[in-house]
């Protein structure tokens, strides 16, 4: 799932990932994302990308999280962030390393 308030960003990411045979759901607000996650009884999501900012910065980025992960979510380092703007190759590499 990809969560971002910019529709054009969602459309571009969805198009890119579908061409690589990823199943993608995009939402433009966090409330809808929470509703989808609450209704996801089969744990269908391997990874969620959330529009955010790099830690201690104003630089836009996607934060990545695995919804089935039992550990705590670390938002203090840049390791779980994909800085915007990014190329198609950077996006695909980032995702493949996390699923």
CA distance 55 to 22: 28
7-49: pLDDT as tens digits:
999 999 999 999 999 999 999 999 999 999 888 877 788 999 9
The ranges assigned to domains in the chain are 2-96
- Looking at residue 32, what is its pLDDT? 95
CA pair distance 93, 97, nearest whole angstrom: 6
Q: What is the pLDDT of residues 36-83, one digit of tens each?
A: 988 887 778 899 999 999 988 999 999 998 876 666 667 777 889 999
| pLDDT for res 55 | 87
Q: What pLDDT, on a 0 to 100 scale, did the predictor assign at position 70?
A: 62
Distance CA 38, CA 17 (A): 24
Assess whether the previous peptide bond of 89 is cis (omega < 30° from 0): no
């Amino acid at each position: 799932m990809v969560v971002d308030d910019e529709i054009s960003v969602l459309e571009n990411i969805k198009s890119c990932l579908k061409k690589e045979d990823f199943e993608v759901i995009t939402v433009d607000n966090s409330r809808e994302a929470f509703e989808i996650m609450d209704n996801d009884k089969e744990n269908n999501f391997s990874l969620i990308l959330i529009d955010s900012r790099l830690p201690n910065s104003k630089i836009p980025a996607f934060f990545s999280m695995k919804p089935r992960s039992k550990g705590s979510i670390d938002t203090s380092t840049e390791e779980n962030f994909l800085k915007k703007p990014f190329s198609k190759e950077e996006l695909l590499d980032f995702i493949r390393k996390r699923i």
